[in-house]
Amino acid sequence: MNKRGFELTLNFVVILILSVVVLSFGIKFIHDLVASQEQIIPPVDQQIRNELARLIVGNKRVAIAFNKATIQRGSSEGFGLGIRNTDPTKTYFRINAQCMKYGSPEQEDLSSGCPPDALSLSYDKSQIRILNNEYEDTMIVVKVDKRAPPGNYVVYVNVCSYQSAAGSCPIDDSVHRYDQLQKIFVTVP
């Protein structure tokens, strides 16, 4: 038997195995990169900015642009949230969004709580600093799970304001609530 031929075949098999391993790591890396992109909060586009500017007039300090949407399972939708600071004593803000109500398509009453993991919400959970008479906008992304039951969902959005660095902002915190509790209405067909 020829030693060189055997050695060449063995080297080819080793290189083939290493190539498959490197290819699978590359595929996994690309998959993770794409999956992480879904969690990134997109910037607010000009159409949403225009709508928020229209909504935040007079005494209104918090608004959600286009707060109703029909979202297919496995898809997501972004909702623009605008905050205008009119209180010179408070410059720190925190946002909390939570799915609070659900009703099946047959139900007219949305009294029951949301099914667990039906909606995932992505938004800036860090503290936001807005000076007096300044304005800030951000996005709340609602992603519907592939196994979410069809029906109507209501997401409550609470914006809390503080004089100094702030803690949490529970949905039911009416003491630090900056403006009215905002709502996002999602229909899953």
Amino acid identity for residue 39 in this structure: Q
What per-residue confidence (pLDDT) applies to 106?
82
Q: Name the architecture of domain 46-188.
A: Sandwich (2.60)
The number of helices, as runs of H, and strands, as runs of E, in the chain is 2, 9
Q: Residue 92: which of 147, 145, 38, 167 has the closest Cα?
A: 167
Evaluated on CA atoms 10, 11, 15, 16, the torsion sign reads negative
Domain segments of the chain as ranges: 46-188
Burial of 187 from C-beta contacts in 10 A (0-12 / 13-18 / 19+): middle
What per-residue confidence (pLDDT) applies to 57?
72
pLDDT, tens only, 68-124 = 999 999 999 999 999 999 988 888 999 999 999 999 888 777 777 899 999 999 998
Q: Which is it for strands 182-188 and 92-103: parallel, antiparallel or unpaired? A: unpaired
What per-residue confidence (pLDDT) applies to 59?
72
pLDDT, tens only, 168-188 = 889 888 889 999 999 999 999
| pTM of full prediction above 0.85 | no
